[in-house]
Structure 1
Amino acid sequence: MVNGGQLIQFCVRFKEQELLDAIKQHVAFHKSKSSGSFLSGKKYCRSGLAMTPGSSVFKEVLESHLMSSDYETGKAKSEAKSNSTSTKSGVGLNGKNGVSSNNGVYELLGCSVCKNLMYPPIHQCPNGHTLCYHCKVEVHNICPTCHHDLGNIRCLALEKVAESLELPCRYQSLGCHDIFPYYTKLKHEQNCGFRPYNCPYAGSECSVMGDIPTLVAHLKDDHKVDMHDGCTFNHRYVKANPHEVENATWMLTVFNSFGRHFCLHFEAFQLGSAPVYMAFLRFMGDDYEAKKFSYSLEVGANGRKLIWQGIPRSIRDSHRKVRDSQDGLIIQRNLALYFSGGERQELKLRITGRIWRED
């Protein structure tokens, strides 16, 4: 079979310059457009071979060229699609900016009970209804859709399909624009820097979540927390009946220091059988930022003094977690009453402190 290049060599051999020029133009046109006619009019080579549109030689050349053009066009499209797929699937465990899988398959991975995305083991009933492991326990092994006994059937096909998916972080609207393979998405979200913070106010079961500016405004407007600027503080805590020890926060104060916000907690609780008072500082931000700061707390009277120095804990750690870890200044009640002076019938503690940035 003769192709476009062979046809040009054929015509050069017979020195039909006019035909050669015309064929070159048409070959160039078809390579760029992959459509249209190959020749028009009648042309003859010196050999006497007919090159009219109806001749067999012309048809062979035309068909060969069009097949070559279709192949090149298809190859280019295939390579472009392959490059696009490679770009999207080249997402590491840390995620990359890109376009997530958008074929609707991930909708099948929503649990029929809790509506959350399912992770292995994914269970199904004999009729094919799927649900996550946790909900399987909650529904007492009965399919909530058809009420058939679930048994212990794994939906291995759906688990396998999930491996091919790439999904955006759930905190995309808060600024995280990375996409992740399905099975690493959950781990990322647990540590995503864009995930919202819980309200640090521990005196109530507050469910408000948001970024730092939102929480600062919330603490001021809704919880009426005292706001102070500066890196030093001097606070006095008074309680009329110190023998009543509640497991609740007494005081929360927010400080704006070095352009960041810190929460000073002071409270009473039972440490084993001993009633104690505790003061500690939390940083309104992530842990790696909190480690850039240090703070000290000091309490005392009558020539005696307790000093604590440490690193503020991030509000990513819950208030209870910090308190239970005893990571702060702890004062036994008897000593606190001694510091208070008088007849030890009223708690009057003055705590001073300082925050500084570590170089």
Structure 2
Amino acid sequence: MDNLNEGRDVACHKSRSSGSLSSGKKYCRSGLAMAPGSSVFKEVLESHLMSSDYETGKAKSEAKSNITSTKSSVGLSGKSGISSNNGVYELLGCPVCKNLMYPPIHQCPNGHTLCSHCKVEVHNICPSCHHDLGNIRCLALEKVAESLELPCRYQSLGCHDIFPYYTKLKHEQNCGFRPYNCPYAGSECSVMGDIPTLVAHLKDDHKVDMHDGCTFNHRYVKANPHEVENATWMLTVFNSFGRHFCLHFEAFQLGSAPVYMAFLRFMGDDNEAKKFSYSLEVGANGRKLIWQGIPRSIRDSHRKVRDSQDGLIIQRNLALYFSGGERQELKLRITGRIWREE
């Protein structure tokens, strides 16, 4: 074992799909002199397995009290910029989910209304009087809605536009002020917010590696890679060109083949992500794999990016070949670069 594995201990968490993982793996982050003219960052980062499979991991991050999290469902009590004192707006609020109702708006024989989504959720039974809902439309309420103009639900986050009732929902699905989901992988984190909020959250609550620069040299280590099927290693966040990028490394089954995958996500919208490109390289013994692509926006979940195979994919046998030795331990070094497209 070389000197990169000397340092403080880090525990390795159990992956529910693969049994117990080894703990106490040692590592360090130390300066490493590179050859003159080398383009890689003069620091080798060694990342260790942190947590677990995507299907069953339920560990939730506890956001600190000074981090503002924005709920994905915004009700009618002022959070969406709608006055709760206006009787018309109150009529358009679904009594079940508390969101604004859009056609088709349903009603029971006694006149109680609810949205089409909740009609399915309550199994076609009115939640107010328990009558069968049938297929009665509240056409009068749908007509009233046509005359309304409402502010965007993200008004408090900076969007001050006003929209006709029936175009408001479409706008909100693409509003540039809508909050982002926490990009941390390996656990289900409910925190949402703008980019500065999420950067602080990742640093303070998830304790991710934070680095400045547009090049990196990262090594991933696992004592027994055959135990890991669906797992993620610790996220790394890079501050490059005044923007933030998330480097992911994951293990999963691609069909029947166990693979490792590295990819980059951009902390911002897709139109901004397309202004950048990145490359990833892995290899040893005179052989290498190179990936070049555009970072995906964190609007797309890490699971969506992983399943689309939009990144550097390494078959397990090849990864162990690159690791050297007796192929019993994963020691995979990945270098990369981020650049701005002109």
Which secondary structure does the structure 2 equivalent of 1:289 belong to? helix
Which residue of the other structure, out of 121, 125, 137, is the alignment partner of 1:142? 125
Task: Report the TM-score when normalising by structure 2.
Answer: 0.75
Task: Report the TM-score when normalising by structure 1.
Answer: 0.71
With 156-165 and 89-98 compared, the bigger mean Cα shift is at: 89-98
Matched, 1:105 2:97: no
Q: Is contact 1:251–1:267 with CA below 8 Å preserved after alignment?
A: no
Which secondary structure does the structure 2 equivalent of 1:243 belong to? helix
The change in CA–CA distance for 1:29 and 1:99 in structure 2 (over 3 A counts) is: farther
| 1:148-185 Cα deviation digits (max 9, x unpaired) | 22221110010011011111110000000001111111
In 1: Cα distance, 2:229 partner to 2:111 partner:
52
In the TM superposition, residue 248 of structure 1 has moved relative to its aligned partner by 2.5
Matches within 5 A, 1:273-288: 273-288=256-271
The change in CA–CA distance for 1:343 and 1:179 in structure 2 (over 3 A counts) is: same
In 2: Cα distance, 1:337 partner to 1:60 partner:
23
Q: Which residue of 2 aligns with 1:14?
A: none
Which secondary structure does the structure 1 equivalent of 2:335 belong to? strand
Q: Is contact 1:92–1:180 with CA below 8 Å preserved after alignment?
A: no
Q: Is contact 2:209–2:235 with CA below 8 Å preserved after alignment?
A: yes
Q: Which residue of 2 aligns with 1:242?
A: 225
Which residue of the other structure, out of 259, 262, 277, is the alignment partner of 2:245? 262
In the TM superposition, residue 42 of structure 1 has moved relative to its aligned partner by 111
In 1: Cα distance, 2:223 partner to 2:49 partner:
97
The change in CA–CA distance for 1:89 and 1:278 in structure 2 (over 3 A counts) is: closer
In 2: Cα distance, 1:228 partner to 1:45 partner:
15
* Structure 1 residue runs without a partner (length 5+): 1-19
Matched, 1:342 2:335: no
With 330-339 and 53-62 compared, the bigger mean Cα shift is at: 53-62
In 2: Cα distance, 1:114 partner to 1:96 partner:
14
In the TM superposition, residue 112 of structure 1 has moved relative to its aligned partner by 1.5
In the TM superposition, residue 205 of structure 1 has moved relative to its aligned partner by 0.4
The change in CA–CA distance for 1:58 and 1:156 in structure 2 (over 3 A counts) is: farther
The change in CA–CA distance for 1:99 and 1:70 in structure 2 (over 3 A counts) is: farther
Q: Is contact 1:296–1:353 with CA below 8 Å preserved after alignment?
A: yes
Q: Is contact 2:281–2:291 with CA below 8 Å preserved after alignment?
A: yes
Q: Is contact 1:245–1:275 with CA below 8 Å preserved after alignment?
A: no
Which secondary structure does the structure 2 equivalent of 1:189 belong to? helix
Which secondary structure does the structure 2 equivalent of 1:123 belong to? strand
Q: Is contact 1:101–1:165 with CA below 8 Å preserved after alignment?
A: no
In 2: Cα distance, 1:70 partner to 1:240 partner:
18
Which secondary structure does the structure 2 equivalent of 1:140 belong to? coil
Whose Rg is larger? 1
More strand by share: 2
| 1:231-290 Cα deviation digits (max 9, x unpaired) | 000001110001122322113100000000000001111100000000000000000000
The change in CA–CA distance for 1:165 and 1:84 in structure 2 (over 3 A counts) is: farther
The change in CA–CA distance for 1:103 and 1:89 in structure 2 (over 3 A counts) is: farther
The change in CA–CA distance for 1:99 and 1:238 in structure 2 (over 3 A counts) is: closer
In the TM superposition, residue 55 of structure 1 has moved relative to its aligned partner by 107
- Greater relative contact order: 1 or 2 (C-alpha under 8 angstroms, separation 6 or more)? 2
In 1: Cα distance, 2:228 partner to 2:21 partner:
96
* Aligned residue pair count: 340
With 294-303 and 91-100 compared, the bigger mean Cα shift is at: 91-100
Q: Which residue of 1 aligns with 2:46?
A: 63
| 1:309-338 Cα deviation digits (max 9, x unpaired) | 000000001110100000000000000000
Q: Is contact 1:165–1:182 with CA below 8 Å preserved after alignment?
A: yes
The change in CA–CA distance for 1:128 and 1:232 in structure 2 (over 3 A counts) is: same
Matches within 5 A, 1:180-195: 180-195=163-178
The change in CA–CA distance for 1:65 and 1:159 in structure 2 (over 3 A counts) is: farther
The change in CA–CA distance for 1:104 and 1:33 in structure 2 (over 3 A counts) is: farther
In 1: Cα distance, 2:48 partner to 2:22 partner:
12
| 1:284-310 Cα deviation digits (max 9, x unpaired) | 000000000000000000000100000
| 1:93-115 Cα deviation digits (max 9, x unpaired) | 99999999995412211112111
| 1:13-63 Cα deviation digits (max 9, x unpaired) | xxxxxxx99999999999999999999999999999999999999999999
The change in CA–CA distance for 1:338 and 1:252 in structure 2 (over 3 A counts) is: same
The change in CA–CA distance for 1:353 and 1:43 in structure 2 (over 3 A counts) is: closer
The change in CA–CA distance for 1:57 and 1:355 in structure 2 (over 3 A counts) is: closer
The change in CA–CA distance for 1:340 and 1:105 in structure 2 (over 3 A counts) is: same
The change in CA–CA distance for 1:39 and 1:212 in structure 2 (over 3 A counts) is: closer
